[in-house]
Amino acid sequence: MSKHRQDDIIRLGGVKGMPVRRSHRFGQKLQVDPEDLEPIIVDFIQSCKNKAKLVLIGFEMAAEWTYLSEIFPKAIPFFSAWVDLRDIAKDITSSVGVIPGLVSLLQIFGYHWKDLQPSKKDSGGGITDNAGDDAIATYALANALLNSENHERLRFRQECGRIARTFTKKKVYMVSDI
C-alpha cells in the first residue's frame, strides 16, 4: 500500500469494515466522581489475581506519594516497595546533572515522538490524560533501562549535554569579559 494511501486511511478514520481506532490505545476509560475514586482503586487492587504485595513503579514519584497519601491512603498498604525510574537513570549515568524527562528518555531509547505525544485535547482546551497510556510509557522506560546498550546511549547523551553546557558557559563568560 502506498504511503499516500496509508495516510488517507488514517486521516479518514479507516476504510469500510475497518474498526475505528480508540482515542486511547491503553486502558479503559471510566468516569468517576472524585469521592468514589479511592474505593474503586482499592477494589481494583483487591481484584488482582496475585495477592502479593505490589511494587509501585513510576518516574519522579514525589508528587505521586503526596497524592497517594492525601487522596488514597487506603491504597498505600497494598504496596511493599517502590521504584523511581529517574533514580535508576541517575545511577546509570552516575550523574548529578539534569536527567531528561520521561518522554525525552524514551526518545533517546528509540521511541518515536508520535507514539509519545499526549492524546487529543479535551473540550476545555487542555490535554486529556490517560493513566493507561502513562502506565505503558512507564513500563516501556523500565524495559528500556534493562538494556545495557541503552545505558551507553544515556551516558553518551549526558556527556554531550555536559560538553554543551560547558561550551555555553565559557561563551557567556567570554562575552561578559568584553
Q: Taking 90 as the threshold, does the pLDDT of residue 151 lie above it?
A: yes
How is residue 135 written as a grid cell? 502506565
Query: Could you tell me how far CA 124 lies from the centroid of its own chain?
Result: 23
Q: How confident is the model at residue 106 (pLDDT cuts 50, 70, 90)?
A: very high
- Give the pLDDT band of residue 129 (cuts 50, 70, 90): low
Mean model confidence pLDDT for the chain: 76
Whole-structure pTM over 0.75, yes or no? no
Return the amino acid letter for 125: G
Highest mean pLDDT among 20-24, 40-44, 141-145 belongs to: 141-145
Given pLDDT bands bounded at 50, 70 and 90, which one contains residue 97? low
The ranges assigned to domains in the chain are: 31-84
Of 36 and 129, more confident? 36
Averaged pLDDT for residues 52-79: 86
- Give the span between the Cα atoms of 72 and 80, in whole angstroms: 16
Q: 59 or 168, which is more confident? A: 59
Query: For the chain, what percent of residues have pLDDT higher than 90?
Result: 20
- Residue among 137, 145, 122, 100 at smallest CA distance from 25: 137
pLDDT of residue 111 exceeding 70, the answer is yes
Taking only the tens place, the pLDDT of each residue in 2-15 is 777 666 665 555 55
Q: With the C-alpha atoms ordered 60, 61, 66, 67, is the resulting torsion angle positive or negative?
A: positive
CB atoms within 10 A of CB 137: 19
Rounded distance, CA 72 to CA 32, Å? 14
